């Protein structure tokens, strides 16, 4: 099945009339960026100097966020 650009635009335009209720777990995804300084002598794990941390919606919260970003209406319970 192929989807041309005009069909995709039509689907996205119709998405604004859609309201969805999402059931699921809302979690927080934490992303940590850093540089490995060394390997710990106690266990073979890296010791990281953290440069940046970001927390974002995950699970059902991420699904609702994507629905809203596409122009639809969404909520979760």
Q: Which one-letter DSSP state was computed for residue 33?
A: E
With a CB cutoff of 8 Å and minimum separation 6, the contacts of 66 are: none
For residue 1, tell me if it sits in a domain.
no
Looking at residue 1, its pLDDT comes to: 62
Distance CA 44, CA 48 (A): 13
Strand partners of residue 54: 31
pLDDT at 60: 93
Structural domains of the chain, count = 1
Pairing of strands 26-39, 19-22: unpaired
Q: Is residue 2 part of a domain?
A: no
Q: What is the pLDDT of residues 6-63, one digit of tens each?
A: 888 888 888 788 888 999 999 999 999 999 999 999 999 999 999 999 999 999 999 9
- Asked if residue 66 belongs to a domain, the reply is yes
- pLDDT of 20 reads 87
What is the pLDDT, as a whole number, of residue 23? 93
pTM: 0.66
Quote the DSSP letter at residue 64.
H
- The DSSP symbol for 41 reads S
Within-domain flag for 68: yes
């Amino acid at each position: 099945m192929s989807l041309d650009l005009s069909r995709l635009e039509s689907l996205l335009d119709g998405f604004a009339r859609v309201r969805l209720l999402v059931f699921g777990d809302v979690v927080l995804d934490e992303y940590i960026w850093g540089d490995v300084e060394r390997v710990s002598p106690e266990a073979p794990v890296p010791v990281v100097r953290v440069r940046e941390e970001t927390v974002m919606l995950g699970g059902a919260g991420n699904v609702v966020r994507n629905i809203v970003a596409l122009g639809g209406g969404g909520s979760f319970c």
